[in-house]
Amino acid sequence: MIKKELLLIIDKAVKKVMMNHGEAETRMPRYNVEVPPGNIKADYATNAAMILASRLKESTLKIAGELATELSLEKKYFEAVKFMKPGFINIYINKSVFYNELENIIREGHKYGGGNIGSKRKVMIEFVSANPTGPSHVGHGRGAALGDCLANIMKNLGFDVTREYYVNDVGNQINLLADSLVCAGEGKPAPEGGYGGDYLKEVYNEGRGFIEENSGDREAIKKYAVEKIIEKYIKKDMGDFGLVFDNWFYESSLFKEKDGKNKIDAAVDRLKKKGYVYEKGGALWFKSTEFKDDKDRVITRKDKTGTYLASDIAYHYDKFKRGFETVINIWGADHHGYIDRVKGSVKALGYDPDRLKILLYQLVNLTIGGKPVIMSKRKANYVTLRQVIDEVGSDACRFFYLMRNANSPLDFDLELAKKQSQENPVYYVQYAHARVCSIFREAKKMGVDFNPGCDAGLLKEPEELIIIKKLITYPDLLVHCCNTLEPHHLTGYLQDLAGVFHRYYTKHRVIVNDKNLTGSRLMLVKALQVVVRNGLKMMGISAPEKM
């Protein structure tokens, strides 16, 4: 990665300037290296001089001049190094560096953008985790796309990633599910607070014999309902969405006894030993106010049954006991008030709460031309993910779900998602890949063989250099998505990359009379094909060869 090499070179220059000022080089300052805004023509810019000047209590411009002088010694890497007020250093990379990286993209192919910053550290991403009381709804799709894309990126960067679905198969909502299932089969209205929808009639009809045979056994009916809905709806929907979970963790497993104690008892005992649990009114309370919560919370009621919080505490205790170094929860925005008490419980259990990352995603608004959409409700009393997949396809679903920061509400335009035109962002990106495939098919017809060893130095058109510079930022972009837990940056990057390619294609021919130039341009579009395909793969989206 160019940025990684650039950081090493700047570090070397910073150390030299520090030594010249009598400063120990063991205390390296933290500075940024970024691609500057469009009005600055440099390839990269750094604020290292401003940070270092503050440390050394020297003039910013003086330190900027010294750093620029040191960096300018790297003739093979830098074409020019300039500084400007208030102290930014602008760096112009030697074009040979870009050409070498272009060749590297082709050489690495599907591995390009991968890395080992994760060093096989174990990470669990728990996401979707909707109650198994019905089909997944349109909002769950956003969490599914976010979690799966993040898992793909982290795995690609060397983390040992586990995708987990937490099944809430305990509690009143499951009792209501069983009762609602029986009512649906008998043609009766659902009980108060229960579940409606034709899907329950389907579930009942497929298990009619078993349900009637076990009509007096609510536990058996509950288990049947949960497993049937998971298999028939949730797993099927997730599978057609291109998502397979590594583990399905059932809440009921927390209550299973082992050596006379279950996992909830074990977690509560640990909190007791650390002084974070007290008894009041016959119930056990967790001292969550010590962790920014607005009041302490009951974890065991008077009747000795556990609360939802007790299960969540035990579940997170189990996660860390399984050896996960980082645990990422992806929740709907309505869980905002739950964050402090869960992170507090992690700290109370003796783990660093920073090891638990919680991402919240906002609502999804389905629209057509900016107007809200009400779709068929045959399957349930809400718009299902299945309906949206059937309407626009998995690829469009994933891309649209990932187009905005999770913290922003998402307007999902169904009409736009179905368009087979460049107005549709996913079509626009996929078409870039298909267009490159078409170029290579044409080259083959004309007897032009692709040679990855062609002279990249012939790529001198401004549009060609723009494409190369954009391509080589791909590995750094994936690292940024990983560090910030914000995979939406990838959709914007691919749209920009597709844009510069489509504009290039309309202005320049790839296959020309000059055999050498043709070879070089085939290298360029091959590298673009690699990056677009790899980027789409991170999002779980196909890279079609024809459109």
Q: Which amino acid is at 219?
A: E
Average pLDDT score over residue span 311-316: 98
Mean of pLDDT over the chain: 94
**Model confidence at 25: pLDDT above 70:** no
Predicted confidence (pLDDT) at residue 321 exceeds the cutoff of 90: yes
Q: Mean pLDDT, to the nearest integer, of 334-339?
A: 92
The one-letter amino acid code at 244 reads: V
Region of 279 (left: φ > 0; alpha: ψ -120 to 50; beta: rest) is: beta
pLDDT at 377 over 60: no
The answer as to CATH 1.10.730.10 being correct for domain 425-538 is yes
Say how far apart CA 300 and CA 121 lie, in whole Å: 35
In angstroms, what CA-CA distances link 78 with 68, 82, 95, 452? 11, 11, 9, 25
Among the listed ranges 303-312, 366-375, 484-493, 519-528, which one has the minimum average pLDDT value? 366-375
| Residue 394 pLDDT level (bands cut at 50, 70, 90) | very high
Fold of 2-93: Gyrase A; domain 2 (3.30.1360)
Q: Residue 494 contacts by C-beta under 8 Å, 6 or more apart in sequence? A: 429, 532, 535, 536
pLDDT tens digit sequence for 261-295: 899 999 999 999 999 999 999 999 999 999 989 99
Res 450 pLDDT > 90: no
Question: How high is the pLDDT of residue 378?
Answer: 45
Q: Taking 70 as the threshold, does the pLDDT of residue 375 lie above it?
A: no
Q: What percent of the chain has pLDDT over 70?
A: 98
283-286: strand order across its sheet: 277-280, 283-286, 297-300
Fold of 127-243+366-418: Rossmann fold (3.40.50)
Query: With pLDDT > 90 as the criterion, what percentage of the chain qualifies?
Result: 87
Residue ranges of the domains in the chain? 2-93, 127-243+366-418, 256-361, 425-538
Mean pLDDT of 433-453: 94
State pTM to two decimals.
Answer: 0.94
Give the tens place of pLDDT for each residue, 463-486: 999 999 999 999 999 999 999 999
Which pLDDT band holds residue 12 (cuts at 50, 70, 90)?
very high
Judged against a pLDDT cut of 70, whether residue 379 lies above it is answered with: no
What is the pLDDT averaged over residues 152-159?
98
